[in-house]
């Protein structure tokens, strides 16, 4: 491993990044539905993740995830390109310095990282349907990744399509028989998409608890 800051950034980026979405659609979902010009006021708030205590911020057109925490590592985890001098870890290749605190046998550095998950624009559109909000992100010129947002009683749930059961249900509902390599691209009518949602599609979910309304 390299210096502390790079270690922590690597962990964050690994957790946030997927190689590619397992499922895409040939157009934003649901079809024949207008794009929203902004997130509604009821969604705009600050939320706390139940998974890792990161903070999710939703403003009128933006969703950001903020990591703000202390990261602890043992000096033995530093590699040969890093040197510990007092309260500083020095990268010997770049001369970049990271301030640390000593906690027993461990080194502690504070991490503050902001990741923009979604920004409404030509390639990122939001549609509302049956009480849900769907985030459509352009994957390439002819396909879109779709995620679902639901807010109920202060709990915000962001869901994606990733399980084999989701994939099998989507194939059955859209009557797709071809066997292609991931990401699987589907064509779905509005009726088919509604049926998929009602059949508990988007089963891979993360829950956030609202902390402050209209935080941004």
* pLDDT per residue as tens digits for the range 109-154: 888 889 999 999 999 999 999 999 999 999 999 999 999 999 999 9
Q: How confident is the model over 23-50, as pLDDT tens digits?
A: 999 999 999 999 999 999 999 999 999 8
Could you report the per-residue pLDDT of 149-173, keeping only the tens digit for each?
A: 999 999 999 999 988 899 999 999 9
Task: Tell me the pTM.
Answer: 0.81
Geometric angle at alpha carbon 24, from 59 and 175, rounded to 5°: 130
pLDDT surpasses 60 at 13: no
Half-sphere exposure of residue 214: CA atoms within 13 angstroms, side-chain side: 3
Say how far apart CA 114 and CA 120 lie, in whole Å: 17
Position 14 pLDDT exceeds 90: no
């Amino acid at each position: 491993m390299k210096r502390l800051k790079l270690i922590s950034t690597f962990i964050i980026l690994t957790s946030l990044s997927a190689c590619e979405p397992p499922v895409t659609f040939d157009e934003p979902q649901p079809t024949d539905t207008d794009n929203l010009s902004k997130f509604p006021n009821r969604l705009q708030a600050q939320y706390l993740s139940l998974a890792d205590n990161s903070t999710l911020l939703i403003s009128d057109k933006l969703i950001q995830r903020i990591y703000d925490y202390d990261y602890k590592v043992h000096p033995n985890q530093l590699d040969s390109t890093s040197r510990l001098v007092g309260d500083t870890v020095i990268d010997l290749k770049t001369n970049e310095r990271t301030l640390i605190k000593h906690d027993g046998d461990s080194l502690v550095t504070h991490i503050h990282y902001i990741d923009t998950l979604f920004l409404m624009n030509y390639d990122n559109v939001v549609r509302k349907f049956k009480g849900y909000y769907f985030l459509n992100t352009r994957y390439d010129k002819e396909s879109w990744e779709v995620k679902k947002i639901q807010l109920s009683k202060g709990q915000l749930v962001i869901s994606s399509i990733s399980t084999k059961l989701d994939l099998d249900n989507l194939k059955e509902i859209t009557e797709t028989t071809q066997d292609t390599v991931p990401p699987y691209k589907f064509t779905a009518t509005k009726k088919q998409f509604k049926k998929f949602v009602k059949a508990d599609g988007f089963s891979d979910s993360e829950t956030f608890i609202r902390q402050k309304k209209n935080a941004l």
